[in-house]
Structure 1
Amino acid sequence: MSATQQAEGANTESTTAIGVTLTDEAAVKVKALIEQEGRDDLRLRVAVQPGGCSGLRYQLFFDERDLDGDKIQSYDGFEVVVDRMSVPYLGGATIDFADRIDAQGFTIDNPNASGSCACGDSFH
């Protein structure tokens, strides 16, 4: 079963509320990075924070905290968490991971972003 199918099969309320999908490549990379940390209490936290030249920027990091209003989506072997303030900005977003000569790292395709800065580091 793919990571996307697993996310779709997760708790309906969480899946609908979080609205973030990881591609299979991103899910494999996140799981590998968590395993590399050697901890079983870490989750991928996806957040939107003020900053950057377009006004908002993404943050992806591993976190063990439970914050009031967190929305959680389960994948095979880990969870993705979005804080309640970031949920409206991330509905329908897809996180991918590329490891090619022309691109490397996580990318976010967000239908809610009406534009981004020239460097691609922030959005509005």
Structure 2
Amino acid sequence: MTETLRESTTGITLTPAAVAKASALLSGEGRDDLALRLEVQPGGCSGLRYRLWFDDSRAADDLVDSYDGIDLVVDRMSAPYLGGATIDYADSIDKQGFTIDNPNATSTCACGDSFH
């Protein structure tokens, strides 16, 4: 990947490992209209939780960044909770999947799915 870590319109950084995994998953879908969407929703044991998925819709006020052909989309309501966050992808014995390191999270639950 030629993309390096950088600041973005969304305020979120996507690491090269996350870009590579998202690209591989998207190529398996066989569609070119999907973007990686990150959203914050009420729920989880700490009050808020992340939702990360491939989405084919966009609102007029969504924030969008492109990383080597992968569009990262964040809605305006979620953006204040995610500024400065980094999305990475881990594939090791102790961690597997997308991870979100969010400096705005003052506390997280043991499962890592929700934050406050």
Q: What band does the TM-score fall into relative to the shorter chain?
A: over 0.9
CA-CA distance at 1:49 after TM superposition: 0.4
Gaps of 5+ in 2: none
How many Å separate the matches in 1 of 2:2 and 2:94? 26
Percent identity of the aligned residues? 66
Q: Which residue of 1 aligns with 2:3?
A: 3
Q: Which residue of 2 aligns with 1:90?
A: 82
Q: Which residue of 2 aligns with 1:57?
A: 49
Equivalent of 1:102 in 91, 94, 111: 94
Gaps of 5+ in 1: 9-14
SS of match in other structure, 1:95: strand
More helix by share: 1
Question: Does 2:92 align with 1:71?
Answer: no
TM-score normalized with structure 1 length: 0.88
| Number of positions where the alignment pairs a residue of Structure 1 with one of Structure 2 | 116
Segments of 4+ in structure 1 off by > 2 A?
1-5
Q: CA RMSD in A?
A: 1.4
Deviation digits for residues 29-52 of structure 1, max 9, x if unmatched? 001111110000000000000000
TM-score normalized with structure 2 length: 0.93
SS of match in other structure, 1:79: strand
